[in-house]
Structure 1
Amino acid sequence: MTVQYKISPSNLNSHLFDVSIHFQSEADKTYTLSLPAWLPGSYMIRDFAKNLIAINATDEQNNRLELHAIDKQTWQVTAKNKQTTLNYQVFAFDLSVRTAYLDNQRGFFNGSSTFLAIEELKEQACSLHISSPSDHSHWRVATGLPRSKNTAKYAFGEYYADDYAHLIDCPVAIGDFDSFEFEVEGVIHHMVFTSKHYGDRARISSDVSKLCQHHINLFGEVPFKEYWFITHLLADGFGGLEHKNSTILQASRFDLPNPNTPHELSDDYQAFLSLCSHEYFHAWNICRIKPKAFIPYQLDKESYTEQLWAYEGITSYYDDFSLFRAGIITFEAYLAILSKAATRVYRGKGELKQSVTQSSFYTWTKFYQQGPDAVNNIVSYYVKGSLIALWLDLTIREKSSGQYSLDHLMKELWIHFGRPNIGTQQEDFINIVNILCNEDISDDIKNLLNTAKRVELSELLSKVGVSFNTSKFKELNKMETTVTTNYVPYIGAHYKPQSIGLKVSQVIEDSPAAKASLAVNDVIIAVDNMHATEKSIQQLANYLPENSEVICHYLRDDQLLTSTLQFKDSPLTGVTLSETDKALSQKWQVII
């Protein structure tokens, strides 16, 4: 191998990895070394190089070579002979899905935050030797990287990558983790939990394999030889990041199914399955089918695209829809999930101020670095994108008289763009939809994508036996909705319980909370001179008549402030979807 990487956990308690890179060089040639500033799937500049420590370079006689810093993440070194070695440490203390982590319980790293690229050699094959901590011989390795013939599965040792892009696309977990396997279409899928859990392993295998089968059937082929679900289990956490043959997930250890209640599907486990479904779908939709702007990825700076509504939105549509299609949840349960998604979009004014293409383009700042104004001024290309995906699915089905669906759009994208690694442009989606509909609906699609307006779904859903009802919110701090003409109290703020009081996390524009001068991060201490808890404020609201005004005491920073808060009737900004005609709904439920 021209480039040989080595990584070793050197100091678990100080959270340090030792990294060395050994490469064949040409005498007097200058090489450029760089670390990505972001990683695919997580669209924010993260400046991983800030965690590199004591980087140095030597020649084959172990003489020190001078390193010239070019910018915050780039260096140059001039080789003196045929061998050059780089050495540095990585501070690893971010137990997210993006960076690196190391302690005496477990370790983890994404190559994008760990391994310097040698720009002149990025296209060449490379090896990675992973060493175990000296006093943790029972630890193992989980990664989608190909193993050498002398390295067994889960073993420390030698791994290979086709090039630098391949190397950093395969994250690595090390530790005394739990692992089990299941097979789908002849492909071994590995499920790894990096810390203690109590979940029902057999049920997880059964449920996740059904989702994997659904996605494979949809696209028609498996583009990987094995797949790894690697999950960081924490007291509290949720998220995921996709890779070509693996995903890194983050969840609560009690999100997993309870073996004592094998027939119960909790909301938390349902959300975990949806997360698995979402990231697995990405193995096709964004890891391989991807925007033209991402081929190749430019990881030193922002890469702008207006298409994330399709890559995250369509994936978000299928993540829950596949739970229903795979027989894990009922149609009624799926409609409840879809109702919440629509409510998240409709409850704020952000969708009327920002289009999904703008949301995609400005993801680097407005979406990934959301401010306290987010609910009022931006729209999620994930959630609104999923509603556009629903609109596309129902529209294609209707205009093709049930011959085609959104599934066919995804298959065509896979065949013409994903498989041959050709990047998409916005027009490619529109052109394929027009063909499937046998009608030019370009203006309708562009209007949905490029204007800040609502996705009208009522008529389309009625044609598949589902009613779309604007609704009130059942409770002050919940997303559940209800169709009623009765008074339902509302203040337009969301909050999280604290040891004392309620910390405000969102304030809807022009709501009673906004008019009471409440702001994000305020802590509500008392309402109507009663200690504010999530239960007490709800009970008070339920007992008081409509339009009641009460004194609200709250902390802003270290100041105690007072205002008047009014309980108003809930606005009709929620959504409730209900099945009205089972025969018609079968037209949507059927897999074409």
Structure 2
Amino acid sequence: MSRACPAAPALRYRVEVLNLRAHLFEVTLEIDRPAKAQKLALPVWIPGSYLVREFAQHLQHLQAAQGGQPLTVKQLDKHRWQVDNDGQRTLCLRWEVYAFDASVRTAFLDATRGFFNATSLCLMVAGREDEPHSLEIVAGDIPAGWQVATGLTATKVDAAGFGHYLAPHYDELADCPVEMGTFWSGEFSACGVPHRFVVSGAGGWFDGQRLLDDTRRICEQQIRFWHGDGQPPYDRYVFMLHASADGYGGLEHRNSTALIAQRADLPKVRGKDDKPAALKATDGYTTLLGLISHEYFHTWNVKRLRPAEFKRYDYSRENHTELLWFFEGFTSYYDDLILRRAGLIDDATYLNLVTKTINQVQQSPGQRVQSVAQASFDAWTRYYRVGENTPNSTISYYTKGALVAMCLDLTLRAEGHTSLDAVMRALWQRTQGGPMREADLATVLRQLGRRSFVSELAQWVHGTDDLPLASLLAARGAKVHQDKTPLAQRLGLRVSENGGLTVKNVLRGGAGEAAGLAAGDEWLGVEFPPAKRGQPVEAWRVRKLDEIDGLRGLRTMLTALIARDGRLLRCPLTWPIDNAPGTTAMRLTVEDAVKLGAWLA
């Protein structure tokens, strides 16, 4: 619904589809009362995705004029410009942005859809960031039937959503992505708050009503988690999901979220003759619901309750914090737990998801190298810059942080005074839904848990020792099994078997490292020593690891024949012993449903 706007803001953006085939948006900006040496800048990163992405690389043809007369635009550095003017008349700027990144972080435009974050399109006006900003979205050269979806406040728009929007400051403009296209759209109410869900890229088999119903259950569960019978800190919410062939990801915002999921993971309309089992959520759909739950939980945990270092974003550089283990990790703990509490998955499915997280952490040698607090601080240089040595040098603040949250929750529950749910709500009250530090968490834990948790935080967050997962989970009604890990893990390798056997990662301390294997090696074959003196060497071509296990029989010594940089090399390899480190993985099943229910339900 459009809302009245008493006066046009002094900062006015206009975004128009310029050329679908060339993937170009045209952006204009009018600045009333400009500075005589007006500086402008495009952000180098977007909040929620902790990597300097250099959005300015896609900006072109920047021009300026005043009173119809062109002015010189001087570039100051990689993302800043200056326009000298008379400081009185309206300053007008125009530029184009190339948009062909289908992620949730930047901008995209083709004949099927358009999407953008203002951080990729809209130059900041230096010194004026806290003033109101208006945004006019113009259809331009688009196919018939396109619509607009965004969390921005509409002031004058048409039935399709094209028209004028208002943001009270640049931060909100940057925090409201825009989806354009012939998307599917549905609505529901959660605890009295209107929610809209738009989906682009879906097929005619897509069951939109099921997605709405399940998402509503997630939203209601989370609103009640934070506020009981109270109201959330927003008056409407928009989910924007793009279904693609193989994508996955999400980016949280204050009253919206942008999502990408595999098209095959969307719920499908069922026929009248389908059996009840056909209605059970697929693994892919469960993953999608977990993503929705994760990004929605961020509405509170990181968009409002946030690191003190994020009190005011600096869009020009990295914004470091050691608290991503809390804001991403604790959110990762609650995303699947909320699915269980909403009745969208059962106990067994939830424990399977926990098992996956535990093994991801325990099978990463980097957990011995880097604490989860260090991983948070280093997110800018490590998490989004994945290389062949990543598993050996770092740990995910998502997965390890989720396990820290679980250990705190189960410890608090075991001691009988409180739970992590109560701690999260108390933090919200303590900070009034605003910036926080680790000391705030420690204080609330001491108050509600009736003792200090400084040692746990030091060991679990700032240390690299194992977490007490097995004992805590067993006490809560989960049965802990130890299974043999896949062959690649027992060899200390991660491999690709797509048409051939290629080494992707060599894990620290494993048999593969001892043999001299390296990332990128093409494993062509294996060679076994003669069974008896005088007999020929036995050599075989291989394309999968399991083939090697079948060929070796009881032999533990072999030579890997590999190709590296055009050279053929021989790497003597001792086959792993089943009781060596890294040869077992945890698996959880339900042992005591009553104890589990006291935690999960």
Q: Structure 1's 546 and 356: CA in aligned 2 closer, same or farther, altered over 3 A?
A: farther
- Corresponding residue number in structure 1 for 2:167: 161
543-552 vs 143-152, greater mean Cα deviation: 543-552
Where do 1:94-493 residues align within 5 Å? 94-152=101-159, 154-197=160-203, 198-220=205-227, 221-260=231-270, 262-399=278-415, 401=416, 403-419=417-433, 421=434, 423-473=435-485, 475-476=486-487, 490-493=490-493
The answer to whether the aligner puts 1:521 opposite 2:511 as a matched pair is no
Structure 1 position 520, deviation (Å)? 2.4
- Once residues 239 and 565 of structure 1 are traced to their aligned partners in structure 2, the CA distance between those partners, rounded to angstroms, is 39
Cα distance in 1 for partners of 2:168, 2:599 equals: 42
- Check conservation: 1:125, 1:161, Cα contact below 8 A: yes
Tell me the distance in 2 between the aligned counterparts of 1:352 and 1:161.
45
- Deviation, 1:150, is 4.0
- Cα deviation, residue 259, structure 1: 2.5
Q: Deviations over 1:419-442 (max 9, x none)?
A: 3x3x11111111111111111222
Measured against aligned partners, the alpha-carbon deviations of 1:71-129 in whole angstroms (never above 9, x if no partner) come to 11111223323211111110111111111111111111111111000022111111111
What CA distance in whole angstroms lies between the structure 2 residues aligned with 1:306 and 1:284?
19
In structure 1, give the amino acid aligned to 2:516. S
| Equivalent of 1:25 in 29, 33, 47 | 33
**Structure 1's 349 and 418: CA in aligned 2 closer, same or farther, altered over 3 A?**
farther
Q: CA deviation at 1:581?
A: 2.3
Give the Å deviation of 1:454: 1.4
- Equivalent AA in structure 2 for residue 254 of structure 1: A
Q: 1:468 to 1:430 in 2, by over 3 A?
A: farther
Counterpart secondary structure, 1:46: coil
Q: Which runs of 5+ in 2 are unaligned?
A: 1-8, 528-538
CA distance in structure 1 between the partners assigned to 2:158 and 2:429 by the alignment:
35
Question: Does residue 579 of structure 1 match 2:590?
Answer: yes
Give the whole-Å Cα distance in 2 for the aligned partners of 1:20 and 1:209: 38
In structure 2, the CA distance between the partners of 1:325 and 1:464, relative to structure 1 (3 Å rule), is same
3-state DSSP of counterpart to 1:362: helix
Structure 1 stretch 39-48 or stretch 185-194: which is displaced more? 185-194
Quote the residue 1:10 is aligned against.
18
Cα–Cα, structure 1 residues 323 and 168, in superposed 2: closer, same or farther, change >3 Å?
A: same
One-letter code aligned to 2:195 = H
**Structure 1 residues 342 and 114 mapped into 2: Cα distance closer, same or farther (>3 Å)?**
same
Q: Deviations over 1:404-423 (max 9, x none)?
A: 2111111112222253x3x1
Change (3 A) 1:564 1:191: farther
Note if contact 1:496-1:504 (Cα within 8 Å) is conserved in structure 2. yes
Query: Per the alignment, in what secondary structure is the counterpart of residue 248 of structure 1?
Result: strand
Shift of 1:264: 2.8
Give the match's secondary structure for 1:45: coil
Cα distance in 1, alignment partners of residues 483 and 550 from structure 2: 18
**d(CA) in 2 for partners of 1:350, 1:89:** 43
Q: Give the distance between the partners of 1:543 and 1:582, measured in 2 at CA.
A: 44
Q: 1:457·1:468 contact (CA, 8 Å) conserved in 2?
A: no
1:19 is paired with a residue whose SS is: strand
Letter aligned with residue 83 of structure 2: V
Could you say what secondary structure the match of 1:68 adopts? strand
Q: Look up the match of 1:495.
A: 495
**CA separation of 1:256 and 1:196: change in aligned 2, threshold 3 A:** closer
Are the equivalent residues in 2 in contact too, given 1:541–1:567 (CA < 8 A)? Answer: no
Deviates most, 250-259 or 168-177: 250-259
Query: Structure 1 counterpart of 2:545, which letter?
Result: I
Q: Is the 8 A contact 1:353 1:378 kept in 2?
A: yes
- For 2:15, the aligned partner's letter is I
SS at 2:212 equivalent: helix
Distance 1:233 1:506 in 2: 30
CA drift of 1:3 comes to: 0.7
| Alignment-mate amino acid for residue 408 of structure 1 | A
Which letter maps to 1:146?
T
Displacement after TM superposition at 1:526 (Å): 4.0
Is the alpha carbon distance of 1:7 and 1:327 closer, same or farther for their aligned partners in structure 2, counting shifts above 3 Å?
same
Once residues 142 and 599 of structure 2 are traced to their aligned partners in structure 1, the CA distance between those partners, rounded to angstroms, is: 57
Whether the 8 Å contact between 1:52 and 1:90 is mirrored in structure 2 is yes
Q: Report the 3-state secondary structure (helix = DSSP H, G, I; strand = E; otherwise coil) of the residue aligned with 1:350.
A: helix
State TM-score, norm by structure 1. 0.91
Task: Provide the aligned C-alpha RMSD in A.
Answer: 2.1
Equivalent pair of 2:337/2:600 in contact (CA under 8 Å): no
The structure having more radius of gyration, on CA atoms, is 2
1:185–1:236: structure 2 CA closer, same or farther, 3 Å change rule? same
Which segment is superposed worse, 462-471 or 209-218?
Answer: 462-471
SS in structure 2 of the partner of residue 568 of structure 1: coil
C-alpha offsets along residues 523-560 of structure 1, whole Å, 9 cap, x if unaligned?
33445665544xx5325425744553444344434444
Distance in 2 of aligned mates of 1:398 and 1:247 = 35
Partners of 1:471 and 1:409 in 2: how far apart?
Answer: 35
Whole-Å separation in 1 of the counterparts to 2:23 and 2:128 = 29
- Rate the CA distance shift 1:555–1:193 in 2: closer, same or farther, 3 A: farther
Q: Secondary structure at the match of 2:448?
A: helix
Identity fraction in percent: 35
1:484 is aligned to none
Greater shift in the superposed pair: 28-37 or 561-570: 561-570
Residue 515 to residue 278, structure 1, CA distance change in 2 (3 Å): same
What is the CA deviation profile of residues 568-587 of structure 1, one whole-angstrom value per residue up to 9, with x for unaligned ones?
Answer: 24434421223322332233
Q: How far apart are residue 367 of structure 1 and its match?
A: 1.6
CA distance in 1, matches of 2:154, 2:78: 33
Preserved CA contact (<8 Å) 2:44 2:316: yes
Alignment: residue pair count: 568
| TM-score (norm: length of structure 2) | 0.90
Q: 1:462 aligns to what SS in structure 2?
A: helix
Q: What letter corresponds to residue 578 of structure 1 in structure 2?
A: T
Relative distance call for 1:477 and 1:239 in structure 2 (3 A) is farther
Aligned 8 A contact 2:542 2:548 in 1 = no
Q: Which residue pairs with 1:63 in the alignment?
A: 69
Deviating more after overlay: 43-52 vs 69-78? 69-78
Q: Is the 8 A contact 1:350 1:375 kept in 2?
A: yes
Amino acid at match of 2:591: T
Give SS of 1:380's match: coil
Q: 1:548 aligns with which of 545, 556, 567?
A: 556
CA distance in 2, matches of 1:395, 1:578: 20
Separation in 1, partners of 2:43, 2:407: 37
Q: 1:77 to 1:546 in 2, by over 3 A?
A: farther
